[in-house]
């Protein structure tokens, strides 16, 4: 099973179709696309397009984030590596410390799911491969 994480820029459903089409050409069509029931994936145009592509929707039920392993994994790391280690005196300090952790998480911390690379490295490598996605 291929798992792809995609977030629409600004939640604009028409922008999703070309990206999803390229990914389907590159990796083949999935039987379904799992997403939360947000407006990006429940818009009528997207639902009709998925139907026309013979791809079914599979929605994560509201209030059940454990159905999304990516979110659960991230939430656990945020909790273990940041929230449980800090004592926030006020909202300003919480924002500052969480932002510092986010910068560390994305720019210095290796991720086993990325072959022990940092996300910034993985993104740069993916961007170098991008011409293949548009072919």
Q: How confident is the model at residue 3 (pLDDT cuts 50, 70, 90)?
A: very low
| Polymer length in residues for the chain | 135
Q: Which residues contact 101 (CB under 8 A, 6 or more apart)?
A: 78, 81, 82
Cα four-point dihedral sign 113, 119, 24, 43: positive
Q: What is the pTM of this model?
A: 0.47
Q: How confident is the model at residue 17 (pLDDT cuts 50, 70, 90)?
A: confident
Per-residue pLDDT at 4 exceeds 70: no
Instruction: State residue 94's pLDDT score.
Output: 93
Instruction: State residue 133's pLDDT score.
Output: 56
**Mind listing the pLDDT tens digit for each residue in 82-132?**
999 998 999 999 999 999 999 999 899 998 888 899 988 888 888 887 666
Instruction: State residue 81's pLDDT score.
Output: 93
């Amino acid at each position: 099973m291929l798992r792809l994480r995609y977030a629409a820029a600004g939640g604009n459903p028409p922008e999703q179709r070309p990206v999803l089409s390229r990914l389907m050409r590159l990796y083949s069509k999935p039987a379904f696309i799992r997403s939360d029931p947000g407006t990006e994936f429940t818009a009528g145009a997207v639902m009709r397009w998925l139907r026309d592509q013979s791809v079914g929707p599979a929605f994560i039920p509201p209030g059940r984030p454990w159905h999304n392993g990516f979110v659960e994994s991230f939430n656990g790391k945020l909790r273990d590596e940041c929230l449980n280690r800090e004592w926030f005196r006020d909202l300003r300090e919480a924002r500052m410390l969480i932002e510092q952790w986010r910068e560390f998480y994305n720019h210095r911390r290796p991720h086993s799911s990325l072959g022990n690379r940092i996300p910034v490295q993985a993104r740069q490598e993916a961007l170098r491969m991008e011409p293949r996605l548009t072919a």
